[in-house]
Chain A
C-alpha cells in the first residue's frame, strides 16, 4: 500500500496545485470583501459560477469564429471576469448598500441578505440558460489548441496542457493583485478602508467607491477563476459554485480572513489537503470510505482552524472592542 501511495504522490500534488489555484483566486474575493465590510459574502460563490457560465457561452459561440485557441481563452477570461465583476458591483449596489445606509447594528441582516442574493443568482442564471438553450447542464466546448497533455518525470505526472494555462493565468492574476494592493493608490485606499472605514473617509477617501471597486476586483478574480474552472473540469451548472465557494471561504479562513497573502496560501494548502484525502481515503480504508468524504474533510479543517487558530495561518489576533 505504501508503494501505491508513493507512486501516486506526484500526481496528487500536481492535481492539488490546480485545485489550490482555483481556491486561492476565489478566496481572495471573500477575503477582500471581508476586509472592507466584515461581511461573509455568500454570493461570491455565485460570482464564480457566473464566470464559469460566461466562459462556457463564449466557447460555445466564438469557437467557430476564433481560430486561435489561446485568443479564444483570452476573450473568455476577459468577458468572464468583466461580467462577474459587474455582477458583483450590482449586488453590492442593490443589496448590501441599502442595508449599510440604513445602518442596522444587527449582524445577521447582511448575512441573511447575502444568502438570499446567492440563491437569487443561482436561479437567475438557470432561468437565463433555460430561456436561451432550454438546458442548464452546460458542457465546455473542447478546442483543439488547448487540448493535449504531457507526461512529466518519466510518467509520474500526467498533466493536461490546460492545467499549465490555469496555473500560469492564476499566478499572473495573483502577482497582479499583489502589485495593485501594495503599490497603487487604489490599493492604498482599499487597505485604508479595510483598516478603518470612518477614518479613511476623513482622509478624503470615498468609502462607497472603494467598496464598489473592491467588489469589482474580487468579483473579476472570481470570474476568471470560474472560466479556468470550466476549462479544467468542463461540466458546469448554476449550482456548481456552492461547494468551491464554501471551500474557498474555508481557504480564506485558513489563511486568516482579511489577509490577502493568507488567502493565497490558504487556497493552495486546502487544495493539497483536499486532493490528498480525496485520493488516499479510499486506499487507506480499503474503499470503505470513498472520495465523497473529501468535502467532509474540508469542513473539519475549517472547524479545527476556527477552534485552534481562529486568526488563521497568517492573520493577526484582533481584540474585540467594547
Chain B
C-alpha cells in the first residue's frame, strides 16, 4: 500500500512538471487523499507529504491553477491531524509551505497571493465563528456584522471620512492601523455585547433569527448612515483607506535577498500579516478550548440546563463566547479594509455570514484545522473555481443564456454544501472528537 501511495505522489510530481493544470491538481488531490487514508509508516508518510508539497508548489508556480492551493492547505491539515508524524517534520514542512511554497507561487502569479490573503482573512473569521458556533453551540447568522464594524472602524478614520463629523487631521497615517486593530477588538466586542445582551437570553433557534435580523440592521445602517451626518458614505462605500507604510518590510526582505516590486510588496506584507494573525487566533483558540471558559462553553452546548445546575452562569459565559468571536472578526475587518483600501456595505451581506458559517460546517464544528480547510475550500471555490467555470461556459457553450453564469450562483453551491453536510456528515470533514460523539448520540 505504501508503495502505491508513493507511486501516486511521484506520478503527480511528474504531471505537475510536464502538464500542470487543473487535471494534474485533481490527480494530486486524489494522491493526497490516498496518502492520508492509507496506513503508512512515519517515514513513508513524511516522504509522501514532502513529495506532494513539492509537486503542488511546482504545479502552482507553473500553471497558476489554484486547486493547488487547496492541496497545500490539505497537506497542512494532514500535517496537523495525522498521528505518528515526527514533530520536526510537521513544523518544517508546515513552515516550508507557508513561507516558501505560497510566496514562490505568488511571485509567479500574483493572484495566488490575493487568494492566500483572502483565505487567511476568512480562515481567521471562521476560527472566530468556530468559538461561537462550534464551541458554545450558539448559531450566529449575523457574523458579518462584526466584520463590518471592524472594517468601518478603520475605514472611517483611515480615510477622509472622519472629517465629516469631527475636527482633526484625517486620514490618520497608516501606522495607526495597528492601533486600530486593537480599537476594533474593543468596538466589535462592545457591539457583540450590545447584540448579545438581548439575543443570548433567547433559546437557540430564536438566537439564529435575531442575529440574522441584527446582521441586516448593521448592513442597513452602513447603507444609510450617510445622512443626516455622513458616517459611512452609504452604498458608495469608503475609499481610499490608508495602508501602513512598509519601508521596514521592504528593507527586511531586501536584506534576505528578496526583491519586491510595486504590486508584490504589499501583497507579501499582508500575506505575512494574515499568517501572524491566524497563528495568534489559533493559539487563542487552543488555549480557550482547554480553559475554564472553553469547558463551560462545551457544557452549555451539550446541555444548557445541566450546565446551569453545575453553577455555570449562562448569560455571561455565552456573552464571552459571542464577544470573543466578534473580536476576531473585527481585527480581520481592519486588515480587510486596509488590504483592499475600499469598504462598502456590499461585502457584509447575509451571504457573507452564511459563507463563513459554511466554512465552519464544512470543516467540522469545533475543529480548528477544519475551519481553516473550510475557509480555503470555500474561498477558492468562490473567487476562482466558479469564475473559471463561468469562463468555460461563456466560451464553449455560448448558446446558454447570459444570466446562467455559474459565478452568480454561489448561494446554490453554499446551500447545497450546507444541506448535504447536514444530511450526510453533520460532524464535518475533519470532525472534532466530542462533536462526533454528540452527532452520533441520537442515532
Contacts and interface: CB of A to CB of B under 8 A. Distances in A.
A113 B419 contact: yes
A120 B426 contact: no
Interface in B178-203: 198-199, 201-202
Question: Interface on chain B toward A: helix, strand, loop, or mixed SS?
Answer: helix
B1 interface: no
A134 B404 CA distance: 7
Contact of B422 (A39, A99, A136): A99
A288 to B, nearest CB: 4
Interface stretch (B220-228, B257-265, B271-279): B220-228
A185 interface: no
A119 B220 contact: no
Contacts of A130: 401, 403-404
Given A95-B419, A134-B403, A288-B228, A123 B412 contact: yes
B419 A127 contact: no
Nearest to B306: A322
A165 interface: no
Contact of B209 (A108, A122, A246): A246
B228 A120 contact: no
Interface stretch (B9-17, B169-177, B211-219, B243-251): B211-219
B402 A134 contact: yes
Interface residues of B, number: 54
Contacts of B210: 299, 302-303, 306
Q: Is the interface of A mostly helix, strand, loop or mixed?
A: helix
A216 to B, nearest CB: 21
A296 B201 contact: no
A126 B201 CA distance: 37
25 contacts: A40-B205, A106-B442, A107-B204, A112-B361, A112-B418, A113-B418, A115-B418, A116-B414, A116-B418, A119-B411, A119-B412, A120-B411, A126-B403, A127-B412, A131-B400, A136-B403, A242-B350, A250-B213, A290-B224, A298-B213, A299-B213, A299-B217, A302-B210, A303-B210, A310-B206
Interface of A: 39-40, 95, 98-99, 102-113, 115-124, 126-127, 129-131, 134-136, 242, 246, 249-250, 253, 288-290, 292-293, 295-296, 298-299, 302-303, 306-307, 310, 320, 322
Interface of B: 133, 137, 139, 141, 198-199, 201-202, 204-206, 208-210, 212-214, 216-217, 220-221, 223-224, 227-228, 305, 350, 354, 357, 361, 365, 400-404, 408-409, 411-412, 414-419, 422-423, 426, 438-439, 441-443
